[in-house]
Amino acid sequence: MEDEFEIKDLQNFFDFRGFLLKIISWWPLFLICIGVAYYIAHYKNVRRQTVYRMNTMITVKDDQNPFFTSNTSLTFNWGGTTDKVQTAIILLRSRSHNERVVEELQYYVDYLQQGAYHLEDIYGQTPFVVDVNTERSQLLGKMITVVFTDDTHYTLHIDFKGGSGSAQNYTTKEQLPIPLPAASFEKEYALGDPVNLPYFNFKLNPSGVPAQPGKEYFIKFNSFNEVVGRYQGVGIDQTPSGSSILSLSLTGSNKARLVDYLNASVRILAETQLERKNLFATKTIQFIDSSLAVKSVEMKNVQEELDKFRDQNSSIGIGSSEESLIAKVTELDAQKQNLEQRLNYYQDLETYLRSREDYGTDIPAPSITGIGEGSVTSSVSSIIELAEERRRLAYTAKPNNPAFKDLDRRINAIKAVLFENMASSQQILRGQLQEVRNEIAATEGQMRKLPQEQQQLFGIQRRYNLTEGAYGVFLDKRSQAGIVKAANVSDIVIIDEAKDTGGGAIGPNTEVSYVVAVVGGTVVPLVIVFLIFFFDTKIGNPNEIKRLSTIPVLGAIGKSTSKSNLLVIEDPRSAIAESFRGLRSSLQFIYRKQNIEGAKTVRITSSVSGEGKTFCSINLASVFALSERKTVLVGLDLRKPKIFGDFNLPNDAGVVNYLIGECSLDEITQQTKIPHLDVILAGAVPPNPSELLMSDQMDVFMEELKKKYDYIILDTPPVGLVSDALELDDYVDATLYVIRQHYTKKGMLRLINDKYKKKEVQNISFVLNYFSAKSKLGYGYGYGYEYGYAYGKYGEAYRQPRPGGLLNRGYRKIIKFKNWFGDQLDN
């Protein structure tokens, strides 16, 4: 039946005062939650590893080669300092760069020891260094235990339980599954001995750290790609923003590992940058060296041929006139070779540019072939520079990025101009080549006039001079390229290398953890209390009743722990008994206000069963009887009679029997052990209780009672379930509507509020039953004093002695503070 009452919000505001008081009443929950949260934070803090941050600072400068000239154009400016800085940042975070660093440092090997709460990284603190055989595969993720027996010998233990695992070759980076043995492996080795197993291949070399016999060390091999991924997150800051100074930082639990990685990363970056800077010079030197090797063989062969000819023809010589012809033809041959070489370069360069879209340092340096045109040299350098920029952009940009189209447009524009310049240069070179060929032909015509033996000697000498001249040219270019390469320095300059100078710890931030614990330990119970308060549909204190209804609250009855309902008789000095005396005084005031003479009636009802309506009826009747007034308690709850059980009386005859004419008033009236108190029970449950209460016999019944008694207490049915109680409105002088704390739902008051608003019920008052000021949900502690507690010295005589003790005194002080806080909110 209670579900028939829809609970709706009957107020348009949030009860902040009630919510704050409820929070105070739940203070033990807050203390417990904060304590638990603080313990959890402490538990985690002591188990966290210390996190360090190591830093290094570098600058990217634009260091030009002091030997750079138009004739030694073996390098070019890679876009200026700004472009170099961005390139350095991209390289430092690139996978290829970090793969090289991890591979060089062999950071895929973990050095561990068991700490108080977890495994600790002890890189740089072990008496050994793992030298991995990168040509063989290593089992990943398996813990290897190393225990030293003396300074140079150790026992290797690996716990196996069968199954399979994953192994990786750190050279090819290939991972393959391998079967594992069913039994554990254990063997003694000496430092430096190779460990060659089907699943591990390495050796432990001494590191210089003294060994501690009996101490356990652990080694573990990790996936190469996973390790590289961890180190790609190196922090890079430009200090100040936009400058060429870079601050690199790395965080972790081992400072030595961080220091080594940062320094190695910067060193490898400098080496990579210098390699790229020297790439033109390196390739030029390789080209010249290969050409020198060919010319050297040619010179050797021609020299041998010349010596052989002279040995066989010692009488044949060359005069001064013939020497001039040889000098002239040698010079013409050198000019012809140079012109042909330049023409070939232009043709090769044009073919290269027309057949490829990505241009790098494979293009030969123009200066090697003797091409000194500034437009050609500048164009080649610009094309390579833009192509390099395009490759760098590919690291971070998507394929459809508009920047690619812009770079391609600029490259094609430079190529178009370069093709025009090369076409013009080739035309000039062909004309010059034809002139040289004509002069050579004329000179050769003069030489053919000489004797056959001299012509043969001239031919051999001519080839020797030509080869020797070419060899000298290449040797000179080789010297120039070597000077340029030797003079190049890296643009990466270390300002502060990474170094462990003490400190560097950045975490864990235990203070923040404790603050979060306190906040969390406060928020959680706060939310719980808020949800309880917000979704609490039951009445908790008199203030809520005042907000929900205009019907006055006449009093509050305390929470009874007694099994008997005759509390006023059995414990007359209790606070509950005093509360009923307060109700009696308030009713007397109501009767006087209505000028009622003679018998006085009071109806006691409630919303639903279980709210203490009968309990209040019995004890109110008892306090009236104790005042030596003739009092009768009438059980009009004909559907569910209860009073007979409390007084141990038979329910054979009662109101029902009187109303149907079976018994007289005297026959249904029963005396109790309480002086001046009679009881009229309900009797057998009738089929038509409402009709009986509305019958004319009910008028007669009430008239007889008023003639015989001073006070008539009517225990009626709940109005929320049946309408019987409302049918008795003509017979009563006052109505007490019982509300039970944390039991009666707020929506149940809508019916009586509606009746009161329509004036269908008169002289009605609420009584808050089963009220506990110490309840977690009943935050109006001081309210009880308003009704039956605050009687000055008189009231003190009716209070039970309060228990002593430190805890009880402390609890009373908290309650006293809560009452004061509530009064401040009211004011």
Find the mean pLDDT for residues 517-544: 86
Could you give the domains of the chain? 2-48+508-534 (no CATH), 53-273 (no CATH), 279-487 (no CATH), 538-790 (3.40.50.300)
Main-chain dihedrals φ then ψ at residue 195, nearest 5 degrees: -105, 100
636 within 8 A of 728, measured Cβ to Cβ: yes
Instruction: Give the range with max mean pLDDT: 385-394, 402-411, 436-445, 801-810.
Output: 402-411
What is the dihedral angle through the alpha carbons of 603, 607, 610, 611, rounded to the nearest 10 degrees? -70
pLDDT at res. 671? 92
3-state secondary structure of 712: strand
Q: Which tens digit of pLDDT belongs to each residue from 636-663?
A: 888 888 888 888 898 888 999 999 999 9
Find the mean pLDDT for residues 297-304: 75
Alpha carbons 402 and 387: distance in angstroms, whole number: 15
Interacting residues of 119 by C-beta distance below 8 A, sequence separation 6+: 112, 113, 218
pLDDT at res. 342? 81
Q: Is the pLDDT of residue 307 over 90?
A: no
Q: Is the pLDDT of residue 157 over 90?
A: yes
pLDDT at res. 274? 77
Q: Which tens digit of pLDDT belongs to each residue from 781-821?
A: 333 333 333 333 333 333 444 455 555 555 555 555 555 55
Q: Which tens digit of pLDDT belongs to each residue from 704-718?
A: 999 999 999 999 888
Find the mean pLDDT for residues 62-76: 46
Alpha carbons 417 and 567: distance in angstroms, whole number: 115
Q: Is the pLDDT of residue 282 over 70?
A: no
Instruction: Give the range with max mean pLDDT: 316-325, 343-352, 616-625, 775-784.
Output: 616-625
pLDDT at res. 71? 41
Token pair, residue 517, equals 């614990």
- The pTM for the full model equals 0.56
pLDDT at res. 581? 93
pLDDT at res. 787? 37
Mean pLDDT of the chain, nearest integer: 80
Task: Quickly count helices (H) and strands (E) in the chain.
Answer: 25, 25
Q: Which tens digit of pLDDT belongs to each residue from 559-599?
A: 887 888 888 888 888 889 999 999 999 999 999 999 988 89
When comparing pLDDT for 181 and 807, which is higher? 181
3-state secondary structure of 185: strand
Q: Is the pLDDT of residue 76 over 60?
A: no
pLDDT at res. 781? 38
Find the mean pLDDT for residues 737-765: 88
Chain-centroid distance of CA 767 in Å reads 54
pLDDT at res. 216? 94
List the Cα angle 681/685/688 in 5-degree steps. Answer: 115
pLDDT at res. 821? 53
pLDDT at res. 784? 37
pLDDT at res. 484? 63
pLDDT at res. 777? 45
Find the mean pLDDT for residues 602-629: 92
Q: What percent of the chain has pLDDT over 70?
A: 77
